[in-house]
Amino acid sequence: MPIAETPEVMTTQRKLYIESYGCAMNFSDSEIIASIMGEHGFATTQDEFDADVIFLNTCAIRDNAEQRIRERLKHLRSNKKQNRDLIIGVLGCMAERLKDKLLEEEKLVDVVAGPDSYRELPKLVAEVDDGGRAINVLLSREETYGDLNPVRLNTNGVSAFISIMRGCDNMCSFCVVPFTRGRERSRDPQSIVHEAKELEAAGYKEITLLGQNVDSYLWFGGGPKKEFKTLTEEEKAMSVDFANLLEMTALAVPGMRIRYSTSHPRDITEKVVLTMAKYDNICNYIHLPAQSGSSRVLEAMNRNYSREWYMDKITMIRNILPDCGVTSDIISGFCTETEEEHLETLSLMEWSQFDYSYMYKYSERPGTPAAKKFTDDVSEETKSRRLQEIIVLQNAISKAKHHAYIGKVVEVLIESESKRSSEEWKGRNDQNIVTVFPKGNYQKGDFVKVLVESATTTTLQGKAVG
């Protein structure tokens, strides 16, 4: 009997592995990428060695973010040795910043695609299949991917991101985002509400509405950002601002928690904070990056607000929502920052009592207004020392703020098992503070009242009380 040859299993599904870097918007974009590629026959895999296509969805915000990607690309050389047909793509902000330079510098990269060209990805991959290398870094004034159904990646099944806008028109002098993500545009609110409802139907319990400057969200029919006062009467009649959008979402999915990020101190309005106060399901949490405590530095940063303006906004928030969690971003050693100005940052932090801050050393980004206008003149040593002082102060504030929760009952949405113990759940309270407690009979996705018994710089610990 002839030995039968094992018939080759013909699978048309190719596999895509996506790795995401940077901010939540980039992680959210990866879900759009997975959706677009899914419609063209690509299934996502969690195993990079199983992949036919590897996409790195990159960040360019600081130099070290880009160095990480370069290191990762070096490692991917061996994947390519093992699988000669493997296609490697660099997507996102670093792709947009470096454009074709990336193909010249990193010989193993086959595809370069910027944040507004993801609908073209299947075509770009097909070009590589045909033996070429492919690039599309065109930025759009309209694209919001609003009609797409994101494929949830690495999800805990409890919380999900929804992008409500793209790009940024702000031109903070240190920032590369306006160059990598293009002009600001808002997404159709109906598609946002629809996505929230679909997440609810799929069992999700929390959504975070995402934009670089959510307070400037304004729907008037689509297209590049306009100020409200410049809208036609017809556009005004159909317009939806961020407070309206928050309200629409809160009403559409009353059983879900709603968060959002990022607010801009210049643009945050009382109307938004009052809307938060009106709806229980909108979390009492605002990420309001100060960047610096010195009005002179803020002006050099082109942030369009002063120290006093920032303090007024914090006061407004605390008057309306006394128990609101507030977090910040701080940059140490921006060009020309003096020691006194650094001390002003520390005193603003002290005054504001942030629950947490994301703290960075200034990293000059080529082509930004700051790189053109100023010299990066604060030494590395001084930047590091100032950053250290900022971190030490923030840790002390976080610890004290968390200790103040001891003896109080907080509501926690269970997200996953605690990393430290398989006997404990981990979730967040209303103010976005990580809270850990023994599992009992509770399940992932439950809202649980937890009595806080102890606290650290990063976490609350307690026990369920119903």
51 touching ligand F3S, by CB under 6 A:
no
Which region, judged by CB under 6 A, interacts with ligand SAH, from 169-177, 196-204, 395-403, 434-442? 169-177
3 state DSSP class of 326: strand
Q: Which of 174, 179, 260, 310 binds ligand SAH (CB under 6 A)?
A: 174
Which residue in the block uniquely carries the two structure tokens 């938004």?
272
Size of site (CB under 6 A) for ligand SF4: 10
The answer to whether 161 and 214 are in contact (CB under 8 A) is: no
The answer to whether 187 and 146 are in contact (CB under 8 A) is: yes
3 state DSSP class of 185: strand
167 touching ligand SAH, by CB under 6 A:
no
Based on DSSP, count helices (H) and strands (E) in the chain, helices before strands: 15, 21
Phi, psi of 228 (to 5 degrees): -55, -40
Q: Which is nearer to ligand SAH, 16 or 93 (CB)?
A: 93
Q: Which of 15, 22, 112, 261 binds ligand F3S (CB under 6 A)?
A: 22
Residue 178: name its binding partner from ligand SAH, ligand F3S, ligand SF4, none (Cβ under 5 to 8 Å by kind).
ligand SF4
Residue type, 464: A
- With a CB cutoff of 8 Å and minimum separation 6, the contacts of 401 are 353, 355
Residues in 3-62 that interact with ligand SAH by CB under 6 A: 61-62
Rounded alpha-carbon distances, angstroms, from residue 448 to 155, 254, 324, 442, 460: 21, 17, 19, 8, 14
- The number of residues in the chain equals 466
Q: Which is nearer to ligand SAH, 310 or 362 (CB)?
A: 362
Which residue in the block uniquely carries the two structure tokens 């190719």?
14
Q: State yes or no: cis peptide before 262, omega within 30 of 0.
A: yes
Tokens representing residue 464 in the block? 């369920």
Q: Which is nearer to ligand F3S, 59 or 164 (CB)?
A: 59
Q: Which of 86, 137, 165, 172 binds ligand SF4 (CB under 6 A)?
A: 172
Q: Which is nearer to ligand SF4, 36 or 370 (CB)?
A: 370
Q: Which of 89, 167, 289, 325 binds ligand SAH (CB under 6 A)?
A: 289
Q: Which is nearer to ligand F3S, 95 or 393 (CB)?
A: 95
C-alpha 167/C-alpha 182 separation (Å) is 5
Task: Look at residues 351, 357, 330, 314 and name the one whose alpha carbon lies nearest to residue 457.
Answer: 357
For the bound state, the minimum distance from the C-beta of residue 267 to ligand SAH, rounded and expressed in Å, comes to 10
362 touching ligand SAH, by CB under 6 A:
yes
The secondary structure element, H or E, covering residue 17 is strand 14-20
For the bound state, the minimum distance from the C-beta of residue 328 to ligand SAH, rounded and expressed in Å, comes to 8
Residues in 243-282 that interact with ligand SAH by CB under 6 A: 262, 264
User: x/- contact string, 23-42, with ligand F3S (CB under 6 A)?
Assistant: x-xx----------------
Q: Which is nearer to ligand F3S, 68 or 141 (CB)?
A: 68
Task: Look at residues 276, 255, 286, 259 and name the one whose alpha carbon lies nearest to residue 446.
Answer: 255
208 touching ligand SAH, by CB under 6 A:
no
Rg (CA), the chain: 23
For the bound state, the minimum distance from the C-beta of residue 72 to ligand F3S, rounded and expressed in Å, comes to 15
Q: Which of 14, 15, 166, 181 binds ligand F3S (CB under 6 A)?
A: 181
The answer to whether 300 and 336 are in contact (CB under 8 A) is: yes
168 touching ligand SF4, by CB under 6 A:
yes
Tell me the β-bridge partners of 19: 56
Q: Which of 90, 109, 165, 177 binds ligand SF4 (CB under 6 A)?
A: 177
264 touching ligand SF4, by CB under 6 A:
yes
3 state DSSP class of 304: coil
178 touching ligand SF4, by CB under 6 A:
yes
- With a CB cutoff of 8 Å and minimum separation 6, the contacts of 69 are 21, 56, 58, 59, 90, 94
135 touching ligand SF4, by CB under 6 A:
no
C-alpha 381/C-alpha 134 separation (Å) is 41
212 touching ligand SF4, by CB under 6 A:
yes
164 touching ligand SF4, by CB under 6 A:
no
Binding site for ligand SF4 (CB under 6 A): 168, 170-172, 175, 177-178, 212-213, 264
Binding site for ligand F3S (CB under 6 A): 22-23, 25-26, 59-61, 92-93, 176-177, 180-181
Binding site for ligand SAH (CB under 6 A): 61-62, 174-175, 177, 212-213, 262, 264, 289, 291, 329, 331, 360, 362-363, 365
